[in-house]
Homo-oligomer: A and B are copies of this chain.
Amino acid sequence: MACLEKGRLEAFAFCPERRDMIQYDVLTIGNAIVDIIARTDNAFLEEQGIPKGSMTLIDTTRAQSLYNAMGPAVEMSGGSAANTAAGVVSLGGTAGYIGKVCDDQLGAIFTHDIRALGIAFQTAPLSTGPATARSMILVTPDGERSMNTYLGACVELSPDDIDEELVAAAKVTYFEGYLWDPPLAKDAIRKAASIAHANGRDVAITLSDSYCVYRYRAEFLDLMRSSAVDIVFANEAEVLALYETKNFDAALTQLAADVRKFGAVTRGEKGCVVVEGKTRIDVPATEVSTVVDTTGAGDLFAAGFLRGYTGGLSKKVSAQLGVVAAGQIIAQIGPRFAGSIRDTADVSKLLGVSSHL
Protein backbone atom coordinates (compact mmCIF):
# COMPACT_ATOMS: atom_id res chain seq x y z
CA MET A 1 0.00 0.00 0.00
CA ALA A 2 2.81 2.34 -0.96
CA CYS A 3 0.36 5.12 -1.67
CA LEU A 4 -0.82 5.23 1.92
CA GLU A 5 2.57 4.46 3.44
CA LYS A 6 5.28 6.97 3.99
CA GLY A 7 6.78 6.22 0.57
CA ARG A 8 6.37 8.13 -2.66
CA LEU A 9 3.18 8.49 -4.56
CA GLU A 10 3.20 6.46 -7.70
CA ALA A 11 3.70 8.37 -10.89
CA PHE A 12 0.40 8.96 -12.64
CA ALA A 13 0.17 6.65 -15.59
CA PHE A 14 -0.37 8.88 -18.58
CA CYS A 15 -0.53 8.08 -22.25
CA PRO A 16 0.90 10.95 -24.30
CA GLU A 17 -0.45 9.62 -27.59
CA ARG A 18 -4.02 9.91 -26.38
CA ARG A 19 -3.54 13.37 -25.00
CA ASP A 20 -4.30 15.32 -28.14
CA MET A 21 -7.76 13.91 -28.23
CA ILE A 22 -8.60 14.74 -24.64
CA GLN A 23 -10.60 17.84 -23.89
CA TYR A 24 -11.75 18.80 -20.45
CA ASP A 25 -14.73 20.95 -19.58
CA VAL A 26 -12.95 22.56 -16.68
CA LEU A 27 -9.44 22.68 -15.24
CA THR A 28 -9.38 23.94 -11.67
CA ILE A 29 -6.31 25.14 -9.80
CA GLY A 30 -6.25 25.54 -6.04
CA ASN A 31 -4.92 24.70 -2.62
CA ALA A 32 -5.01 20.90 -2.29
CA ILE A 33 -6.50 20.33 1.14
CA VAL A 34 -7.83 17.47 3.24
CA ASP A 35 -10.77 18.60 5.39
CA ILE A 36 -10.99 17.65 9.04
CA ILE A 37 -14.65 18.23 9.80
CA ALA A 38 -16.12 18.36 13.30
CA ARG A 39 -19.38 19.54 14.76
CA THR A 40 -19.09 22.21 17.42
CA ASP A 41 -21.07 25.01 19.06
CA ASN A 42 -20.84 28.79 18.88
CA ALA A 43 -19.25 28.96 22.34
CA PHE A 44 -16.25 26.97 21.10
CA LEU A 45 -15.75 29.37 18.17
CA GLU A 46 -15.84 32.33 20.56
CA GLU A 47 -13.52 30.62 23.02
CA GLN A 48 -11.05 29.96 20.22
CA GLY A 49 -11.51 33.40 18.60
CA ILE A 50 -12.53 31.86 15.27
CA PRO A 51 -14.39 34.23 12.88
CA LYS A 52 -17.61 32.40 12.05
CA GLY A 53 -18.28 31.57 8.41
CA SER A 54 -14.83 32.49 7.12
CA MET A 55 -11.50 30.90 6.32
CA THR A 56 -8.63 31.69 8.65
CA LEU A 57 -5.04 30.79 7.82
CA ILE A 58 -3.21 29.16 10.72
CA ASP A 59 0.39 28.14 11.37
CA THR A 60 1.62 24.82 12.75
CA THR A 61 1.49 25.88 16.39
CA ARG A 62 -2.07 27.14 16.13
CA ALA A 63 -3.05 24.11 14.07
CA GLN A 64 -1.81 21.82 16.81
CA SER A 65 -3.49 23.70 19.64
CA LEU A 66 -6.80 23.92 17.78
CA TYR A 67 -6.68 20.23 16.86
CA ASN A 68 -6.00 19.34 20.48
CA ALA A 69 -8.96 21.42 21.61
CA MET A 70 -11.53 20.34 19.02
CA GLY A 71 -13.74 17.27 19.12
CA PRO A 72 -13.51 14.04 17.12
CA ALA A 73 -13.62 14.59 13.38
CA VAL A 74 -14.16 13.03 10.00
CA GLU A 75 -11.61 13.44 7.21
CA MET A 76 -12.36 13.89 3.55
CA SER A 77 -10.69 15.46 0.56
CA GLY A 78 -11.54 19.12 0.12
CA GLY A 79 -9.98 22.28 -1.25
CA SER A 80 -12.28 24.81 -2.88
CA ALA A 81 -11.21 24.39 -6.52
CA ALA A 82 -10.82 20.63 -6.12
CA ASN A 83 -14.39 20.47 -4.83
CA THR A 84 -15.48 22.37 -7.93
CA ALA A 85 -13.69 19.86 -10.18
CA ALA A 86 -15.34 17.02 -8.24
CA GLY A 87 -18.69 18.75 -8.65
CA VAL A 88 -18.26 19.12 -12.41
CA VAL A 89 -17.65 15.37 -12.63
CA SER A 90 -20.59 14.56 -10.33
CA LEU A 91 -22.71 16.51 -12.81
CA GLY A 92 -21.46 14.45 -15.75
CA GLY A 93 -18.70 16.79 -16.95
CA THR A 94 -14.96 16.26 -17.29
CA ALA A 95 -12.27 17.98 -15.27
CA GLY A 96 -8.59 18.32 -14.49
CA TYR A 97 -6.95 19.67 -11.36
CA ILE A 98 -3.66 21.27 -10.38
CA GLY A 99 -2.67 21.53 -6.70
CA LYS A 100 0.21 20.61 -4.41
CA VAL A 101 0.26 17.82 -1.85
CA CYS A 102 3.12 16.18 0.02
CA ASP A 103 3.74 12.47 -0.51
CA ASP A 104 2.38 11.65 2.94
CA GLN A 105 -0.76 9.78 4.00
CA LEU A 106 -3.07 12.76 3.66
CA GLY A 107 -1.56 13.48 0.25
CA ALA A 108 -2.26 9.91 -0.78
CA ILE A 109 -5.86 10.28 0.35
CA PHE A 110 -6.28 13.53 -1.58
CA THR A 111 -4.69 12.01 -4.67
CA HIS A 112 -6.76 8.84 -4.51
CA ASP A 113 -10.05 10.64 -4.07
CA ILE A 114 -9.59 13.06 -6.93
CA ARG A 115 -8.26 10.43 -9.35
CA ALA A 116 -11.00 8.00 -8.32
CA LEU A 117 -13.46 10.56 -9.68
CA GLY A 118 -11.74 10.43 -13.07
CA ILE A 119 -10.22 13.89 -12.69
CA ALA A 120 -6.84 14.37 -14.42
CA PHE A 121 -4.44 15.18 -11.58
CA GLN A 122 -0.71 14.95 -12.17
CA THR A 123 0.86 17.72 -10.09
CA ALA A 124 4.12 16.34 -8.67
CA PRO A 125 3.84 15.91 -4.89
CA LEU A 126 6.47 17.35 -2.57
CA SER A 127 8.85 14.67 -1.36
CA THR A 128 10.22 16.77 1.48
CA GLY A 129 9.06 19.90 3.23
CA PRO A 130 5.68 20.78 4.66
CA ALA A 131 2.97 18.12 5.04
CA THR A 132 -0.21 18.03 2.99
CA ALA A 133 -2.52 20.92 3.80
CA ARG A 134 -5.53 20.42 6.00
CA SER A 135 -8.42 22.59 7.02
CA MET A 136 -10.10 22.12 10.36
CA ILE A 137 -13.71 22.87 9.51
CA LEU A 138 -15.95 23.51 12.48
CA VAL A 139 -19.64 23.18 11.72
CA THR A 140 -22.11 24.84 14.10
CA PRO A 141 -25.70 23.65 14.64
CA ASP A 142 -26.96 26.23 12.12
CA GLY A 143 -24.94 24.45 9.40
CA GLU A 144 -22.42 27.31 9.03
CA ARG A 145 -18.79 26.25 8.60
CA SER A 146 -15.73 28.08 9.92
CA MET A 147 -12.48 26.98 8.32
CA ASN A 148 -9.01 26.98 9.84
CA THR A 149 -6.46 26.17 7.19
CA TYR A 150 -2.86 25.07 7.53
CA LEU A 151 -1.47 25.51 3.99
CA GLY A 152 1.46 23.10 4.32
CA ALA A 153 2.62 21.78 0.95
CA CYS A 154 0.39 24.28 -0.91
CA VAL A 155 2.94 27.04 -0.35
CA GLU A 156 5.18 25.28 -2.86
CA LEU A 157 2.81 25.51 -5.84
CA SER A 158 4.75 27.32 -8.56
CA PRO A 159 4.66 28.09 -12.31
CA ASP A 160 6.52 24.81 -12.90
CA ASP A 161 3.39 22.98 -11.81
CA ILE A 162 1.32 24.45 -14.62
CA ASP A 163 0.91 21.73 -17.22
CA GLU A 164 0.58 23.58 -20.53
CA GLU A 165 -1.19 20.79 -22.37
CA LEU A 166 -3.71 20.36 -19.58
CA VAL A 167 -4.52 24.09 -19.59
CA ALA A 168 -4.78 24.11 -23.36
CA ALA A 169 -7.14 21.12 -23.24
CA ALA A 170 -9.66 22.73 -20.87
CA LYS A 171 -12.56 24.89 -22.03
CA VAL A 172 -12.34 26.90 -18.82
CA THR A 173 -9.41 27.28 -16.42
CA TYR A 174 -10.82 28.19 -13.00
CA PHE A 175 -8.79 29.13 -9.95
CA GLU A 176 -9.21 30.22 -6.34
CA GLY A 177 -8.55 33.68 -4.95
CA TYR A 178 -7.16 31.67 -2.03
CA LEU A 179 -4.12 31.01 -4.24
CA TRP A 180 -2.91 34.54 -3.49
CA ASP A 181 -2.01 33.31 0.02
CA PRO A 182 0.86 31.00 -0.95
CA PRO A 183 3.79 32.99 -2.39
CA LEU A 184 4.35 31.58 -5.90
CA ALA A 185 0.89 30.48 -6.90
CA LYS A 186 -0.10 33.85 -8.36
CA ASP A 187 2.73 33.51 -10.87
CA ALA A 188 1.44 30.05 -11.67
CA ILE A 189 -2.01 31.53 -12.29
CA ARG A 190 -0.66 34.29 -14.56
CA LYS A 191 1.10 31.59 -16.56
CA ALA A 192 -2.01 29.42 -16.74
CA ALA A 193 -4.14 32.39 -17.82
CA SER A 194 -1.74 33.22 -20.65
CA ILE A 195 -1.74 29.65 -21.91
CA ALA A 196 -5.52 29.46 -21.72
CA HIS A 197 -5.99 32.69 -23.65
CA ALA A 198 -3.38 31.71 -26.22
CA ASN A 199 -5.56 28.66 -26.86
CA GLY A 200 -8.80 30.61 -27.05
CA ARG A 201 -10.01 29.35 -23.67
CA ASP A 202 -11.78 31.15 -20.84
CA VAL A 203 -10.24 31.96 -17.47
CA ALA A 204 -12.35 32.19 -14.32
CA ILE A 205 -11.61 33.21 -10.75
CA THR A 206 -13.57 32.71 -7.56
CA LEU A 207 -12.97 35.46 -5.00
CA SER A 208 -13.07 32.68 -2.35
CA ASP A 209 -13.77 34.61 0.88
CA SER A 210 -14.38 38.22 1.90
CA TYR A 211 -11.27 38.25 4.10
CA CYS A 212 -9.32 36.96 1.11
CA VAL A 213 -10.72 39.88 -0.90
CA TYR A 214 -9.60 42.32 1.82
CA ARG A 215 -6.10 40.87 1.55
CA TYR A 216 -5.81 40.97 -2.25
CA ARG A 217 -8.42 43.47 -3.42
CA ALA A 218 -6.10 45.49 -5.66
CA GLU A 219 -4.63 42.41 -7.28
CA PHE A 220 -8.02 40.85 -7.96
CA LEU A 221 -9.24 44.08 -9.57
CA ASP A 222 -6.09 44.19 -11.66
CA LEU A 223 -6.67 40.60 -12.84
CA MET A 224 -10.13 41.62 -14.01
CA ARG A 225 -9.24 44.99 -15.50
CA SER A 226 -6.22 43.59 -17.34
CA SER A 227 -8.47 40.84 -18.74
CA ALA A 228 -6.32 38.11 -17.22
CA VAL A 229 -9.65 36.64 -16.13
CA ASP A 230 -12.86 36.53 -18.15
CA ILE A 231 -15.35 35.29 -15.57
CA VAL A 232 -15.71 36.09 -11.87
CA PHE A 233 -17.47 33.93 -9.28
CA ALA A 234 -18.19 35.49 -5.91
CA ASN A 235 -20.74 35.74 -3.16
CA GLU A 236 -22.44 38.91 -2.06
CA ALA A 237 -20.00 39.66 0.80
CA GLU A 238 -17.02 39.21 -1.51
CA VAL A 239 -18.35 41.58 -4.17
CA LEU A 240 -19.16 44.18 -1.51
CA ALA A 241 -15.63 43.79 -0.14
CA LEU A 242 -14.16 44.06 -3.63
CA TYR A 243 -15.82 47.43 -4.23
CA GLU A 244 -15.71 48.58 -0.61
CA THR A 245 -19.39 49.33 -0.59
CA LYS A 246 -22.59 48.27 1.14
CA ASN A 247 -24.64 48.85 -1.99
CA PHE A 248 -25.03 45.52 -3.74
CA ASP A 249 -26.49 46.93 -6.96
CA ALA A 250 -23.67 49.44 -7.24
CA ALA A 251 -21.12 46.67 -6.71
CA LEU A 252 -22.78 44.55 -9.39
CA THR A 253 -22.65 47.45 -11.86
CA GLN A 254 -18.95 47.87 -11.19
CA LEU A 255 -18.37 44.14 -11.50
CA ALA A 256 -20.11 44.08 -14.87
CA ALA A 257 -17.92 46.97 -16.02
CA ASP A 258 -14.68 45.43 -14.79
CA VAL A 259 -15.06 41.81 -15.92
CA ARG A 260 -14.31 40.91 -19.52
CA LYS A 261 -17.15 38.41 -19.92
CA PHE A 262 -19.47 38.08 -16.92
CA GLY A 263 -19.80 37.71 -13.18
CA ALA A 264 -21.87 35.15 -11.26
CA VAL A 265 -22.69 36.17 -7.71
CA THR A 266 -24.36 33.94 -5.13
CA ARG A 267 -26.60 35.40 -2.45
CA GLY A 268 -27.45 32.47 -0.14
CA GLU A 269 -31.21 32.20 0.31
CA LYS A 270 -31.68 34.92 -2.29
CA GLY A 271 -30.28 32.72 -5.07
CA CYS A 272 -27.80 34.26 -7.48
CA VAL A 273 -27.28 36.98 -10.07
CA VAL A 274 -25.39 36.81 -13.34
CA VAL A 275 -24.22 40.15 -14.74
CA GLU A 276 -22.89 40.57 -18.26
CA GLY A 277 -22.61 44.10 -19.60
CA LYS A 278 -26.01 45.66 -19.04
CA THR A 279 -27.78 42.32 -18.70
CA ARG A 280 -28.70 41.03 -15.25
CA ILE A 281 -30.22 37.60 -14.64
CA ASP A 282 -31.61 36.79 -11.20
CA VAL A 283 -32.11 33.13 -10.30
CA PRO A 284 -33.90 32.17 -7.07
CA ALA A 285 -32.44 29.64 -4.62
CA THR A 286 -33.88 26.15 -4.37
CA GLU A 287 -35.62 25.12 -1.20
CA VAL A 288 -33.34 23.21 1.17
CA SER A 289 -35.26 21.48 3.94
CA THR A 290 -32.38 21.29 6.41
CA VAL A 291 -29.01 23.00 6.08
CA VAL A 292 -26.62 20.40 7.48
CA ASP A 293 -23.24 21.87 6.50
CA THR A 294 -22.61 24.81 4.17
CA THR A 295 -19.08 23.56 3.33
CA GLY A 296 -18.71 23.57 -0.44
CA ALA A 297 -21.80 25.66 -1.27
CA GLY A 298 -19.85 28.21 -3.33
CA ASP A 299 -17.64 25.51 -4.86
CA LEU A 300 -20.64 23.56 -6.04
CA PHE A 301 -22.40 26.64 -7.38
CA ALA A 302 -19.34 27.21 -9.58
CA ALA A 303 -19.32 23.51 -10.53
CA GLY A 304 -22.94 23.57 -11.60
CA PHE A 305 -22.54 26.84 -13.48
CA LEU A 306 -19.40 25.69 -15.29
CA ARG A 307 -20.94 22.33 -16.15
CA GLY A 308 -23.80 24.14 -17.84
CA TYR A 309 -21.67 26.83 -19.44
CA THR A 310 -19.11 24.43 -20.90
CA GLY A 311 -21.97 22.21 -22.02
CA GLY A 312 -23.27 25.04 -24.16
CA LEU A 313 -26.25 25.91 -21.95
CA SER A 314 -27.47 29.45 -21.41
CA LYS A 315 -26.14 31.47 -18.50
CA LYS A 316 -29.56 31.35 -16.89
CA VAL A 317 -29.73 27.56 -17.01
CA SER A 318 -26.07 27.35 -15.97
CA ALA A 319 -26.87 29.48 -12.94
CA GLN A 320 -29.86 27.28 -12.16
CA LEU A 321 -27.59 24.24 -12.29
CA GLY A 322 -25.24 26.01 -9.89
CA VAL A 323 -28.07 26.79 -7.50
CA VAL A 324 -29.31 23.18 -7.59
CA ALA A 325 -25.83 21.73 -6.98
CA ALA A 326 -25.20 24.16 -4.10
CA GLY A 327 -28.58 23.34 -2.60
CA GLN A 328 -27.81 19.64 -2.68
CA ILE A 329 -24.34 19.93 -1.15
CA ILE A 330 -25.50 21.88 1.92
CA ALA A 331 -28.00 19.18 2.77
CA GLN A 332 -25.14 16.79 3.58
CA ILE A 333 -21.85 16.76 5.48
CA GLY A 334 -18.75 17.70 3.50
CA PRO A 335 -18.08 19.40 0.16
CA ARG A 336 -18.29 16.45 -2.24
CA PHE A 337 -21.05 14.11 -3.31
CA ALA A 338 -20.62 10.38 -2.64
CA GLY A 339 -21.65 9.65 -6.21
CA SER A 340 -23.06 11.19 -9.36
CA ILE A 341 -25.92 13.67 -9.07
CA ARG A 342 -26.19 13.74 -12.86
CA ASP A 343 -29.42 11.78 -12.77
CA THR A 344 -31.23 13.53 -9.94
CA ALA A 345 -34.47 15.03 -11.21
CA ASP A 346 -33.49 18.69 -10.89
CA VAL A 347 -30.12 18.21 -12.54
CA SER A 348 -31.18 16.02 -15.44
CA LYS A 349 -34.06 18.38 -16.21
CA LEU A 350 -31.68 21.34 -16.45
CA LEU A 351 -29.05 19.45 -18.41
CA GLY A 352 -31.76 18.45 -20.84
CA VAL A 353 -32.70 22.07 -21.51
CA SER A 354 -31.15 23.25 -24.74
CA SER A 355 -32.48 26.80 -25.07
CA HIS A 356 -29.72 29.34 -24.63
CA LEU A 357 -29.81 32.78 -23.14
Contact = CB atoms under 8 A, between A and B. Distances in A.
A67 B4 contact: yes
Contacts of A5: 60, 131
A183 interface: no
Interface residues of A, number: 40
A72 B116 contact: yes
Contact of A2 (B2, B6, B64): B64
A155 interface: no
B112 A73 contact: yes
A107 B38 CA distance: 18
Contacts of A116: 70-73
Contacts of A67: 1, 3-4, 112
Contact of A131 (B6, B77, B86, B114): B6
B3 A68 contact: yes
A109 B86 CA distance: 24
B4 A134 contact: yes
Interface of A: 1-6, 36, 38-39, 60-61, 63-64, 67-68, 70-77, 86, 104-106, 109, 112-114, 116-117, 131, 134, 150, 334, 336, 338-339
Nearest to A106: B105
Kindly name the residue among A5, A61, A70, A336 whose own CB sees the greatest number of chain B CB atoms within 10 A: A5
Q: Is the interface of A mostly helix, strand, loop or mixed?
A: mixed
Given A3-B64, A72-B336, A73-B112, 6 more contacts: A1-B131, A6-B6, A72-B117, A73-B76, A104-B104, A104-B105
B112 A63 contact: no
Given A112-B72, A116-B72, A39 B339 contact: yes
Kindly name the residue among A86, A117, A131 whose own CB sees the greatest number of chain B CB atoms within 10 A: A131
Contacts of A339: 39, 71
Nearest to A119: B72
A1 B64 contact: yes
Contacts of A112: 67-68, 72-73
Kindly name the residue among A60, A63, A74, A77 whose own CB sees the greatest number of chain B CB atoms within 10 A: A74
A202 to B, nearest CB: 27
Contacts of A61: 1
A77 B75 CA distance: 9
B150 A1 contact: yes
A93 B112 CA distance: 38
A293 to B, nearest CB: 11
Contacts of A150: 1
Nearest to A60: B1
B76 A4 contact: no
24 contacts: A1-B63, A1-B64, A2-B60, A3-B67, A3-B68, A4-B64, A4-B67, A4-B106, A4-B131, A6-B6, A36-B109, A38-B338, A39-B338, A68-B112, A71-B116, A71-B339, A72-B112, A72-B113, A73-B76, A73-B112, A74-B75, A74-B76, A104-B105, A105-B106
